[in-house]
A and B are shown apart, each in its own frame.
Chain A
Amino acid sequence: MNLVAVCFVAALCACALAALAALLVPARRRPAVTGVITAVAGALAAVAGVAAIGDGGWQVWLPDLLPLAGVRLALDSLAGVFVAVTGAVTVCAALYGAGYTAGGRDRGQGGDDAGGHGGHALDGRITQAMVPLFVGSLLLVPAADSVSTLLLAWELMAITSLLLVMAEHRQREAVREAAVWYAVMTHLGFVAILCGLLAFVAAAGGDSFEQLRVAAVDPGTRSAVFLATFAGFAAKAGIVPLHVWLPRAHPEAPSHVSALMSAAMVNMGVYGILRVGFDLLGGGPAWWWLVVLTAGVLSALYGILQAVVATDLKRLLGYSTTENIGLVLIGTGAAGFFAAGGSGALAGLALAAALLHMVNHSAFKTVLFLAAGSVLRATGSRDLDALGGLRERMPYTAGLFAVGALCASALPPGNAFVSEWLLLQSLIQSGSGAGLAGAVLMPAAVAGIALSAGLAVATFVKAFGVGFLARPRSADAERAVESPRSMVGGMGLAAGCCVALALAPALILPALAPAVVALTGDFGVSVQDVTLRVDAGLSTVSPTLIAVSLLVAVVAVLGLARAAMARRARRAARLWDCGLGPMSPRMEYTATSFAEPLQRVFDDVLAPESDVDVTPARESAYLVERVSFQTRVPDRIERRLYDPLVAAAAAAGGVARRLANGSVHRYLAYGFCALTGALVVLAVIW
């Protein structure tokens, strides 16, 4: 038993222990006890993951645990990356959850009607026990080493997360709708993965990954397997057009669960694509990866466009997840494309950028979702148009959200800047050797990344500026108070990870090298002191130096400004208010008004719906008594693609209801006729 095995098994045991504790410990201490044990499990998993990236090679076969195939677990370097990320996210989310879920019984949890009565608050037994089980399944998915184990862990992950999404279904109607969407989408995705992998197993004649790797499968089957599993994994990763569950389920889940889902669970979709595409199928033709790349570009653009016009804070973050996983898939697709074309250094660079971006996204999305949860807990609202003025009232939360928002905007000195820069380098360096498809798609992808980065800045300026600065726009926001220490601690830990990733990628990036080399054979980035050098070109970047020089510049500018101010005498004056009297919070910029110019620019894509209702005064059609104006930006893909499908399914269901009239005999007769019919057919054709 090496370090990997000990820590990983201990982490799984800690998850089980936490679930048990949630069932047994009385309600008053339940959140704290469960949270702490889950955090320990996360820390152990992080250690196991980091150790597995380094040496890896841990394998175990438990033939008796499941009938027929048994359970196969293995941690290699690729699995190690995902286990480590999941572990780190778990530590932050579990510590935060200990405070977030406590005391739900005397406080309406983010709802209009005071929830928590009847033992269905967030500190209820089932909800508390599901979190460690969810974490356990998230650890098992990358550790699975056979198809049956993977599918089992995948389904466990789907079910536990679904139960967590539904945690507050008694408080809010929207939770139920979100849960239905999530359940349907996640299970359709599961079916796609199931079909793909079972076809693969049937063609390869073995269930374990070892057998799948060496199996000789014909190209047609390989492509079918790849496309089916890609669809399934993309649904989990929230990739357009399979993303519709994500902006519903992530906002409605309890916030620490949102963080786990957004920062750890969607990664599993990326993991699946990497594992099946690179590892089990061993690369494949270039067009597979162009499909991945295209899906990535579309997701990045669509996700961030929806995020920039969203006014619900957590929905905004959910769409931002779609954007970031889209960026990760751009890197993945580019890596596969380059690997298929034989340029190993570029493939390594693209994959390293993709994995680094995934790690970065997990870090900042944890901070952002947890901070959004603090806001929700303090104000009872996720609507940015009703927030504001939280900087003075919740200084820690505001500061930590600012860190997360900076990191998410892909600007230096944030961490996403580093990974997106590497990603852009890999695409730009591809040059003319990429063939016609590459020559057309790579520049388009570069443009897509650039546009999404720009829109991300607007998105997070809006989220932070409107949500936390200025004056409160509602009474709830005015009454907000800072969150308890455990929540701030959880957020702070995640923000610390962000800062470390932002300032010292030169230390962290090499840690990903074994995983990247295992898949593409080359790493493509070399590190000199604090500088990252791209092997394929002459580009270098040093995030640490950029951060230091930025700091120096800011200090210098502030110092000069202060010096210039000190010379003049200060004078207090009333703010210019156009003579309308004192300015009220109603006159502030809102999230809607901030995004309005962008919404206008992307009018054709977003297709916003607005509704103006004018009531004229009785005497004259020209004198207006009252005007009401409503605007909303629906998810266009949902409107065009899913609504007709749902309507068709509902119509088919309505027709099928006639078959079921409630008579027991009729149901039995269906069974009897089906059986005898099948037997007659058998008897005739045999």
Chain B
Amino acid sequence: MPDLTYTELLYLACGAFLLTGVMVLWRRDLRAVIRLFALQGLALAAVIGVLAAHQGDLELALVGIGVGALRAGLLPYLMARALAAGGEDRETRPLVNVSASLVVAAALAMLAYAISRPLTELAPSPATRAVPVALTVLLVGFFVLVTRRRALSQVVGFLLMDNAITATAFLTTSGVPLVVELGVSLDVLLAILVLYVLTNRIRASFGGTDLDELRELHD
């Protein structure tokens, strides 16, 4: 494909990736959050697909399909099931309110741009210029982890970080080997299964998944 189209498509996919990540902060409805996460998985798969098409690499395309299936299909499905079993479908009072969160996200994006400058300078290319996007999503994911109360939001935050790490890996290198990506994906899947069980156990034992109510457990 021509270089200009490649760059346009890549940046479009990265834009979708970033937008879905930030919108997780905006929506309180957990169902919508899961849908956003699935969309982000699709955007990630699209990023990998564009890279694969540009490099003409079949293995990379297969990895992209696998990543899409896991992050836009299986993981959202698991989370939706957990949500259906629980019934708490709103993030009622986040520790930092929505508008402040969005401001923080903007600040984080600036920080990400500032720190990824040296990385981009190492090997300037359309793909590496998109690294700040991935780092922004990483920081936003961490921020979700810190400020959202429901266990499911925490899982989404964790997965946002993981998506961002995967995106950084694909953007900075010319393709992650299939074995590595398989290993990482399996790890994530396993972590989600564990968290899924854990969420159910927390709810069964304490009647809710607000993590701040667990503070009596220390020592």
A interface list, Cβ under 8 A from B: 660-665, 668-669, 671-672, 675-676, 679-680, 682-683, 686
Contacts and interface: CB of A to CB of B under 8 A. Distances in A.
B108 interface: yes
B175 to A, nearest CB: 24
Given A665-B95, A665-B211, A672-B143, A683 B114 contact: yes
User: Which of the four size classes fits the interface of chain B?
Assistant: 20 to 34
Interface in B164-219: 211-212, 214-219
B142 A662 contact: no
A662 B215 contact: yes
Interface in B111-166: 111, 114-115, 117-118, 139, 142-143, 145-147, 149
A661 B146 contact: no
6 contacts: A662-B215, A663-B211, A663-B212, A665-B146, A676-B139, A683-B115
Given A660-B218, A661-B218, A662-B218, A668 B146 contact: yes
Interface of B: 95, 108, 111, 114-115, 117-118, 139, 142-143, 145-147, 149, 211-212, 214-219
A605 to B, nearest CB: 42
A672 B216 contact: no
A672 B142 contact: yes
A664 B114 contact: no
B114 A662 contact: no
A664 B111 contact: no
Contacts of B214: 662, 664
A346 to B, nearest CB: 60
Main secondary structure of the interface of B (DSSP, over half): helix
B146 A672 contact: yes
Contacts of B219: 662
B215 A679 contact: no
A236 B92 CA distance: 57
B178 to A, nearest CB: 22
A669 to B, nearest CB: 5
Contact of B111 (A660, A665, A676, A686): A676
B118 A672 contact: no
> Closest 9 A-B residue pairs measured CB to CB?
A662-B218, A662-B215, A683-B114, A668-B146, A664-B211, A672-B146, A669-B146, A663-B215, A683-B115
B142 A675 contact: yes
A672 B146 CA distance: 7
A679 to B, nearest CB: 5
Given A662-B215, A672-B145, 18 more contacts: A662-B218, A663-B211, A663-B212, A664-B211, A664-B212, A664-B214, A665-B212, A668-B145, A669-B146, A671-B142, A672-B142, A672-B143, A675-B142, A679-B115, A682-B115, A683-B114, A686-B115, A686-B118
Nearest to B147: A665
Contacts of A660: 218
A680 B111 contact: yes
Given A683-B111, A686-B118, A662 B217 contact: yes
Nearest to B217: A662
B122 to A, nearest CB: 13
A671 B143 CA distance: 10
A116 to B, nearest CB: 31
Contacts of A663: 211-212, 215
